[in-house]
Amino acid sequence: TETHVVRLAVDKAGETRFHDLLRGDIVIPNEAVDDQVLLKSDGMPTYHLANVVDDHLMGVSIIMRAEEWIPSVPKHVMLYAAFGWEPPVYAHVPLLRNADKSKISKRKNPTSLLWYREHGYLPEALINFLGLQGWSIKSDDEEFSLDEFVAKFDPADISVGGPVFDMTKLDWLNGEKIRKLSAEQLATRLASGGFAEGWSEAQLAEVLPLFQERLKRLDEFLPQSAYLRARPEPDYEGLAKKTKKADPGALAAALLESAALLEARSEASEDEREQALRAIAETHELKVGALFMGLRVAVTGATASPPLLPSVDAVGAVESAERIRAVAGQLTPAG
């Protein structure tokens, strides 16, 4: 038997009109519609036939999909008519765009939900962010829960302008969601997600107040907290830029005096120790910021870190003092 395919016989005269929930009436000339293959030579249905039959049998009433499917709607409308079925309501949403307005590509952009989970994005943040793509909650507040989204979502409110998939905004939103968690909840998220190797949940709950305000993603915890577990390599280049107006000898002397103070007065309050450190800076004719930057780089290794004195307490007064002395030794002029 000769093999053959079954095609959609399109009457090229006239036009196909359908209503789009977001775009109003759309008219496509039939001459622009090809005679689509419906059954392949092996008897298997193609997408267009299977899609229409499956949606009808499942009782689908609204089809919401990307705008790039608009040219295919006439084929589907013709098939619904051929079967004598009532077609569903169509709503074609705009494609997500990069910041430069180019189309998001699977080859160039992370489009898998697993990627976002592996990089420490919270499910509630991603749901919130995706909900904002072409839609808003009609208030100044860009944060909402899934329940709020379900209660207030109306497809008619979707904008057909190309929404920008802004990773910077996603990071901001994810950080806001992180800060709404309790320390115990955040510890559980970090531990269960594999973002806190080597830390127990109890240990995490103790140190998270240092980092919760700074985290944008869960995968930032281990890099940010590394100085608590091992002596870091100080960012001497960054320190030099931040303290270029300070005399290295005076800074080294002030660091040594600060190390002794922090070691001897580890039980004093943060305020008492801060005032004492300010007095040391004044004694050595240094700006307070220069001394604190030296201490920060010594204790945490970086010019930007969690608060200084809580970091000293987390590292331990003795270890912190040793780190400070090591940095002071590098700043002391030779000879």
- Reduced to 3 states (helix: H, G, I; strand: E, B; else coil), residue 236 is helix
d(CA 238, CA 303): 6
- Reduced to 3 states (helix: H, G, I; strand: E, B; else coil), residue 52 is helix
pLDDT tens, 113-148?
999 999 999 999 999 999 988 887 776 678 888 998
Specify whether 106 is catalytic.
yes
CB of 75 within 8 A of CB of 140?
Answer: no
pLDDT tens, 155-190?
888 888 888 889 999 999 999 999 999 999 999 999
d(CA 169, CA 220): 17
Where is mean pLDDT largest: 124-133, 217-226, 324-333? 217-226
pLDDT tens, 23-45?
999 999 999 999 999 999 999 99
Please identify which of the residues 12, 101, 103, 106 carries the catalytic annotation: 106
Domains of the chain in sequence order: 6-93 (3.40.50.620), 181-229 (no CATH), 236-331 (1.10.10.350)
Percent of the residues in the chain that have a pLDDT greater than 70, as a whole number: 98
